[in-house]
Amino acid sequence: MKISSKGRYAIESLIYLATLPNAPTQVKDIAKKTDIPQKYLEQIFFALRQANILAAKRGPSGGYYFQKSPQELTVGDIIRILEGEIIAVDCLQDKSACITMQLYESCITRALWQDISSTISDIMDSTTIAALAFQLQGGMGL
Amino acid sequence: MKISTKGRYGLRAMIDLATHENCDYVTLASIAERQQISLNYLEHSFSALKKAGLIIGHTGINGGYKLALPPTEITLQMILVVLEGDLAIVPIIPAAEETIYSQCLRTNVWEKINQKLADILKKTTLQDMLGCNNKND
């Protein structure tokens, strides 16, 4: 049960971006600072732009900047955009994903998977990109 | 970010075993039938659980499996580590490959999640999962 590198890289690069003034920043520079492959980061940023998290400016002084404030942007938002719902097993959101439908009503493990999913999403939803950037810059603990 | 079918099936099979053992060995075929899990799949998981010392196997006419410990002493962490491997939410990144950004994310988010998940799985025992299982009989 792992978060993919896509989700991790997105958040890492957004933390870096949140430490800068909100002006267009080139993917090349972000990739270098965060040690993330540039091509991969371009794909990730394209998806974040589609989701209106970032905006892009074209031209020689172009780049990406925040469309949504990092103070209002949580780790959970980013993971949902790039990896889908934060659930430990598919049957939590889609009953038809139940592997043994006849036992669905009496399934005793579903409550556990629900508990695990909420634990993960609670932490992700209460952590903003701004708070992580603040922490990085020597701010107080979250 | 999902629990694999191995973990899902395996945990259900362990709960079934705990529910039905009553001092006797329980056959895999009966667990497979009650839980509607393929026998082949179960054999694989149970061989790993046996190797880890969580269950005991017995061959012969009245053969089958039983728990190696009381259900109050088998935590979900013990079971899922065998079935899922490492339960961390992100892979371990070698220190040399970390940036200040990945480190910030690891300490403030991933490790907090890992800690909370470990707390849940270590404090919940197989016994806690029993009791509401009668409908599956």
The Cα of A55 is separated from the nearest Cα of chain B by a number of Å equal to 21
Give chain B's mean pLDDT.
90
ipTM metric: 0.90
For the stretch A74-131, pLDDT in tens is 999 999 999 998 888 888 888 887 777 777 777 788 889 999 999 999 999 999 999 9
The alpha carbon of residue A53 is apart from the nearest alpha carbon of chain B, in Å, by 19
Q: Which of B105, B122, B126, B130 to mutate to test the interface with A (most CBs of A within 10 A)?
A: B105
Nearest by CB to A116, from B36, B102, B120: name it.
Answer: B120
Residue A1 has pLDDT above 70, yes or no: no
Shortest alpha-carbon distance between residue A127 and chain B (Å)? 8
Residues of chain A contacting residue B13, judged by C-beta atoms under 8 Å apart? none
Portion 68-107 of B in contact with A at CB < 8 A: 76, 84, 87-91, 97, 99-102, 104-105
Report pLDDT digits (tens) over A3-40.
899 999 999 999 999 999 999 999 999 999 999 999 99
pLDDT digits 0-9 by tens, A118-133 = 999 999 999 999 999 9
- What is A83-121 written as a DSSP string? H----SSGGGT-GGG-SSGGGTTT-SSHHHHHHHHHHHH
Provide the phi-psi class of A41: left if phi over 0, else alpha when psi is between -120 and 50, else beta.
Answer: alpha
Task: Name the closest residue on chain A to residue B93, using Cα atoms.
Answer: A5
CB contact residues (below 8 A), chain A span 35-74, against chain B: 35
Q: Give the model's pLDDT for residue B131.
A: 65
pLDDT digits (tens, 9 = 90+) for A40-85: 999 999 999 999 999 999 988 899 999 999 999 999 999 999 999 8
What does the pLDDT read at residue B135?
A: 41
pTM of the predicted protein model = 0.88
Residues of chain B with Cβ-Cβ distance to A88 below 8 Å are: 1-3
> What are the tens digits of pLDDT across the range B53-106?
999 999 888 889 999 999 999 999 999 999 998 888 988 888 888 999 999 999
CA distance A12 to chain B (A): 5
DSSP string, chain B: ----HHHHHHHHHHHHHHHH-TTS-B-HHHHHHHHT--HHHHHHHHHHHHHTTSEEEE-STT-EEEESS-GGG-BHHHHHHHHHS---SSPPPPGGG--HHHHHHIIIIIHHHHHHHHHHHHH-BTGGG-SS-GGG-
Burial class (CB in 10 A: 0-12, 13-18, 19+), A50: exposed
Residues of A in contact with B35 (CB under 8 A): 100, 103
CB contact under 8 A, A123 and B112: yes
How big is the A-B interface in CB pairs under 8 Å?
116
Average pLDDT over residues B16-23: 87
